[in-house]
Structure 1
Amino acid sequence: MEFFNSALGKNITFVRPAYFIISGFIGIPNIKFYYVFLFFVYIVSVLGNTIVMAVICLDRNLRTPKYIAVFNLAFVDLFGNSALVPKLLDIFLFNHRYIPYNDCLAFLFFCYTCLSMQALNLVALSYDRLVAIIFPLHYQVKMTHRFMLSLIASFWILVIIAVLIAVGLLTRLSFCKSVVINSYFCDHGQIYRLACNDYTPSFVISVLLPFVILWLPLIFILFSYLYIGFALSKVATVQERVKAFKTCTGHLSLVAIYFLPILITFTLMGNIHPNARIINLSLTSVFPPMLNPIIYVLQTQEIKESIKKLFKIRVQSKITTKK
């Protein structure tokens, strides 16, 4: 982060605290039950996403462009919840609310990177469904392994650069007032508002980042499904429409689980209690990674068949070994 500071002049001195204090869940009644719930969510998330990743790796029939995106989503969900939930429980359950300055910025970077990649990964899956339904005869040509890998890699690069800029701008802020972050993690917005010097660049990036990483993906997904709906309306038979729509139900469920809680929380932001806001925001962070693998296992026929096949092979190998 020295690049951001050297660009402003060598004689500028920034007041950096030794630590921040995370105060998010303090004072909420019966909050320990919520911690138990978060632990359960984390365990289910780890098991579910690990199973999805293992099934895609073991079954060669699932090594398609679509399941490259599904694998990446499972990896992001697993990595994101592993970056957030254990640290969150350590902070509040074991009362380790003092987090060093550099650790806080690293915590912020990993959480924001994973949350952003979840949204962009839904864009990749949306584009896959769009091509599959609108251009079914050209799907194999348009949607190749190389294209999907390039798309996901470009999303990773975009997100990492954007979040690094946001974190880098925080390093040019001086904190000579409070060091208490009123959130459940090292929240970018809560941190820059604690600064006692000009935080305009951080404010600008806090406006641009959600627009690029959150709202643009949502707009693309909505327009892609409007286009799909328009195309399906021209299909001759109802059975063909239903068959085409069924291929989208899993992805639509993921989109609803990820975006609806965020939209509801930010729409009612000024009308709900701060404690309720913190609970809602924490749920929007940890819930989708838990539900995504469950939805894909239950609503995707290929994965269900693959799990049955792998389980059958394992049972048969055990029987053969015993004989």
Structure 2
Amino acid sequence: MSPLNSAYFINTSIVQPDFFVISGFAGIPHTKYYYVFLCFVYAVSVLGNSFVMFMIYTDHCLHSPKYIVVFNLAVSDLCVSTALVPTMIDTFLFKSQLISFEACLTNMFFVFWFLIMQSFTLTVLSYDRCVAICLPLRYNEIVTNKSMSVITTITWIIAALAILVAVIFMNRLSFCKSTVINSYFCDHGPTFRLACNDNTPNYVISHSHPVLIFWLPLLFITGTYICIARALLKIAGASERLKAMKTCTAHLILVSVFYFPICITYAMGATIHQNARIINTSLATVLPSMLNPIIYSLKTEEFTESIKKFYRRKKIHITGRNT
């Protein structure tokens, strides 16, 4: 074993910097317009997801297993936007690119925790749709409020543990060279590659975690829709088939919005310019949080009816108060 690796294990030469520098958009021209766009995205994300949570909480008709998961998605969308966008704006618009070592690891933990939860929640929603269409007579027996609450709780715990492992191994790294992180937040990959001691565990994590938290969920979602497609082919009536397909429309759009940009970025690999990669990945992390509540509000029949009932009640209340 080399002296450097020995130092890694006995923890005698660990150098942790006081600050990292988030370079991110520094080399990209006309970024002030992008920051204005980010402010808009964040405002819509906060309002949209808060509205979705409010509607589900107040309307007892939406107190069902499916909407427990939708509520969970709104929470993770709101949290990931809050963990990312205000920090990005403060970092680059107000030139506050220094971030302490502890704050960097905290930022890394929460951003990835909520991003993982978005992926897991879309997976749980696909499970819900698969049972509803493939086993309609047993749906109420299999998918209950209690079982869905347990599943969502387990996903939060697994997601936290997964990223906690990565953060713990970051604490074992020594940074004796550059401290400039070439990303728009404390991204795991660009950060651990700055280390000057053995970063093999972090390297393994950086390659295994995407498989566990993105590609396996996407594979599971694909499998559920293969089962759904087979079940739909067995439905004799075209109108019944169309009605069943409509219940999956919102979820399919959500999956496309979340996974498609990630797939494109991975497919392009090293051929994509670094600036284009930063812009693309930043959009991939903030846009789904804005679009998800809009998609659910417009594409889900139960939720649309709930909104209509809410405004009818408000109108009656205001009319009665005025008279």
Tell me the TM-score normalised to structure 2 length: 0.96
- 1:270 corresponds to: 270
- 1:113 corresponds to: 113
- 1:25 corresponds to: 25
SS in 2 for 1:195: coil
1-structure distance, mates of 2:177, 2:116: 30
- 2:153 corresponds to: 153
1:138 aligns with 2:138: yes
- 1:178 corresponds to: 178
1:233 aligns with 2:262: no
2-structure distance, mates of 1:133, 1:231: 7
Q: Deviations over 1:157-216 (max 9, x none)?
A: 101011011000000000000000000000000011000000000111111111111111
2-structure distance, mates of 1:8, 1:178: 22
Q: Structure 2: 5+ residue runs without aligned partners? A: 1-7
Q: CA deviation at 1:301?
A: 1.0
Q: CA deviation at 1:316?
A: 1.0
How do 1:93-108 and structure 2 match up within 5 A? 93-108=93-108
Amino acid at match of 1:161: L
- 1:285 corresponds to: 285
1-structure distance, mates of 2:252, 2:322: 45
SS in 2 for 1:25: helix
Q: Deviations over 1:62-94 (max 9, x none)?
A: 000000000000010001101100000000000
2-structure distance, mates of 1:24, 1:99: 13
- 1:297 corresponds to: 297
| 8 Å Cα contact 1:20/1:98 also seen in 2 | yes
2-structure distance, mates of 1:189, 1:270: 14
The list of structure 1 runs, each at least 4 consecutive aligned residues, that deviate by more than 3 angstroms after superposition, is none
Q: How many equivalent pairs are there? A: 316
Amino acid at match of 1:236: A
SS in 1 for 2:27: coil
Q: CA deviation at 1:8?
A: 4.5
1-structure distance, mates of 2:218, 2:114: 17
1-structure distance, mates of 2:270, 2:191: 19
SS in 1 for 2:26: coil
- 2:193 corresponds to: 193
SS in 2 for 1:228: helix
2-structure distance, mates of 1:165, 1:317: 52
Amino acid at match of 2:230: F
Amino acid at match of 1:50: S
Amino acid at match of 1:27: G
1-structure distance, mates of 2:235, 2:72: 32
Q: CA RMSD in A?
A: 1.0
Q: CA deviation at 1:12?
A: 2.4
Tell me the TM-score normalised to structure 1 length: 0.96
1-structure distance, mates of 2:82, 2:312: 31
1-structure distance, mates of 2:289, 2:307: 20
1-structure distance, mates of 2:40, 2:150: 35
2-structure distance, mates of 1:61, 1:161: 34
Amino acid at match of 1:262: I
2-structure distance, mates of 1:308, 1:241: 26
- 2:42 corresponds to: 42
2-structure distance, mates of 1:269, 1:93: 29
1-structure distance, mates of 2:69, 2:207: 28
| 8 Å Cα contact 1:269/1:277 also seen in 2 | no
Amino acid at match of 1:294: I
- Percent identity, aligned pairs only, is 52
Amino acid at match of 2:262: I
2-structure distance, mates of 1:49, 1:162: 25
- 1:252 corresponds to: 252
| 8 Å Cα contact 1:117/1:159 also seen in 2 | yes
Q: Deviations over 1:25-79 (max 9, x none)?
A: 0121111000000110110111110110000001000000000000000010001
| 8 Å Cα contact 1:49/1:74 also seen in 2 | yes
SS in 2 for 1:314: helix
| 8 Å Cα contact 1:20/1:101 also seen in 2 | yes
2-structure distance, mates of 1:72, 1:302: 17
Q: CA deviation at 1:269?
A: 2.5
